[in-house]
A and B are shown apart, each in its own frame.
Chain A
């Protein structure tokens, strides 16, 4: 790892002020992605500003039909939270298959979506559930937030404070886990809103990062069942291909994971 200067912020305002005083700072949440990237010398921030001890970024709230998870909440606390389990159990499940127990004690929802790894789990949940990302400056819909590989709508010095999820009628998530990294070789989140809209998002599949899958959405809108996806054809163009799987393999995985997710959603 290259040299860096570590700061611990005690409030969002302090973190923003520290960011403004640094030349090339990075915010550090749980560090489960940023630190590995720094160790590989793929990132070399002049300063890291630790958001991990900021109390206002911790916690989960269920208010009517909206579940709000503050950005600094660790995966383990999301997975165990009674309101999450009650309102959107698919999120509790997604968190339980994310990383491993040690990673779940450190990683946070805000860190995951700010990084927007093309194979991360939470971007799929946000996109499928039509969530809203709250920052210290504004609210951004999930549709506008994810801008492609490792890219988001966040501006320099902007900090995610929370994510709000409308509670859906039904939701499910399934993924094919990479056996070593636990990242999604492909994962699919399916959701049916209380107004009957169907949204489906796939992660780990596209070269452009998390994406909606309109063909599966249309099939499920007509008939919410795994069988409805049988006849859907997914194009392999623009899908990821690497030593772990070809684009055609991932195209098929999108269908299979979507079917399993619908089964899980009930």
Chain B
């Protein structure tokens, strides 16, 4: 057992876990943040994507101990109170989710994509960059539309801040 200290969604936490615990299990089983999903468990589907120190990583392919000292943001941490994050709002408005299982990972990856590409984002880039996230409803068309829509909204909301 080890004590892992990290910041999750802005709050400092210290969690006692077995050394073999994956970051996704620390989040889900110890902090009850079940928005982050385990889909494939083989690092391919992206349902477990969270941000660690601002970068989108697969939390099923990290030991909790590797996140010691890091700042982690999950799907539960991106809205401002009742106001959805622009990416969440764009997913809702564009029907970017069907069963919803892949959605948290899609949204966390998509925010990272917009952060990296900003104004340069086009449909081809979104499709290429989302290749680490699998939607088994195959609802990619509206997901891509949502990401492009959100890229514009995130620019507006950043400018307003």
Contacts and interface: CB of A to CB of B under 8 A. Distances in A.
Q: Kindly name the residue among A99, A100, A102 whose own CB sees the greatest number of chain B CB atoms within 10 A.
A: A102
Interface residues of B, number: 30
Interface stretch (A31-39, A114-122, A160-168, A213-221): A31-39
B144 to A, nearest CB: 15
Interface stretch (B40-48, B79-87, B94-102): B40-48
Contact of A101 (B18, B22, B60, B129): B129
Contacts of B57: 102, 105-106
Given A101-B109, A101-B132, A106 B49 contact: no
B65 A8 contact: yes
A100 B61 contact: no
Contacts of B56: 101-102, 105
A50 B20 contact: no
B45 to A, nearest CB: 9
A6 B43 CA distance: 20
Given A31-B62, A35-B61, A102 B46 contact: yes
A103 interface: yes
A129 B44 CA distance: 30
B18 A3 contact: yes
B113 A181 contact: no
Interface in B1-27: 2, 18-20, 22
Interface string A34-74: 01101100000000101010000000000000000000000
Contacts of A8: 65-66, 68
Contacts of A3: 18-20
A141 B98 CA distance: 52
A182 B131 contact: yes
B49 to A, nearest CB: 6
A102 B132 contact: yes
Contacts of A105: 55-57
B149 interface: no
Nearest to B108: A102
A8 B66 CA distance: 8
A80 to B, nearest CB: 9
B69 to A, nearest CB: 9
A5 interface: yes
A232 B42 CA distance: 38
Contacts of B43: 32, 35-36, 103
Contact of A52 (B22, B60, B66): B66
B61 A32 contact: yes
Given A3-B20, A6-B65, A102 B58 contact: yes
Nearest to B49: A102
B2 A6 contact: yes
B146 to A, nearest CB: 17
B61 A106 contact: yes
A96 B32 CA distance: 35
B89 to A, nearest CB: 23
11 contacts: A1-B20, A5-B19, A35-B62, A48-B63, A50-B66, A99-B132, A100-B131, A101-B56, A102-B46, A103-B132, A106-B61
6 tightest A-B contacts by CB? A100-B132, A6-B19, A6-B65, A105-B55, A1-B20, A102-B58
Given A100-B133, A102-B132, 16 more contacts: A4-B19, A8-B65, A8-B66, A8-B68, A28-B66, A31-B62, A32-B61, A38-B20, A99-B132, A101-B56, A101-B112, A102-B49, A103-B61, A106-B58, A106-B61, A180-B134
